[in-house]
Amino acid sequence: MKILQLLPASIFVLSCCNDAAQARNIVTTNDGIAIGTTNQSGLRRSLVTYDANTSQQDVHQFSNLPNTIRGFDDVALDSDAMARQGGVVAFAIDASSGLVCSFNLSARSSTRRGEVSLQLIGCTTQRVSTSPFVGIDAQRGTLVVSGGTGGVSTFRYDTSTGRLSSRPTIRNQTLNEIGHPSVTLVSRNIAVLCTDTRSGFGITIANINQSSRSLDRSRFFPVENTVNFKYAISPGMSCEGLLQLCSL
> What does the binding site for another protein look like in residue numbers (CB under 8 A)?
20-32, 34, 36-41, 43, 46, 48, 50, 52, 55, 57, 59, 184, 186, 190, 192, 201, 203, 205, 219, 221-227, 230-231, 233, 237-238, 240-242, 244-248
Of 50 and 62, CB closest to another protein: 50
In angstroms, what is the minimal distance from the CB of 184 to another protein?
6
| C-alpha distance across the termini of the chain, in Å | 25
Of 33 and 122, CB closest to another protein: 33
Q: Give the residue ranges of DSSP H helices in the chain.
A: 2-6, 10-16
Of 199 and 226, CB closest to another protein: 226
In angstroms, what is the minimal distance from the CB of 238 to another protein?
7
In angstroms, what is the minimal distance from the CB of 234 to another protein?
11
The span from the CA of 195 to the CA of 229, in Å, is: 13
Of 121 and 185, CB closest to another protein: 185
* Amino acid identity at 173: Q
Of 47 and 82, CB closest to another protein: 47
Of 1 and 26, CB closest to another protein: 26
In angstroms, what is the minimal distance from the CB of 126 to another protein?
27
The span from the CA of 104 to the CA of 81, in Å, is: 10
In angstroms, what is the minimal distance from the CB of 199 to another protein?
15
Render the burial of 182-209: b for 16+ CB within 10 Å, e for the rest.
Answer: bbbbeebeebbbbbbbeeebbbbbbebe
Helix or strand (DSSP H, E) at 74: strand 74-78
Q: Residue 182 in contact with residue 243, Cβ under 8 Å?
A: yes
SS3 152: strand
Structure letter (DSSP) for residue 241: T
In angstroms, what is the minimal distance from the CB of 142 to another protein?
15
The span from the CA of 157 to the CA of 192, in Å, is: 19
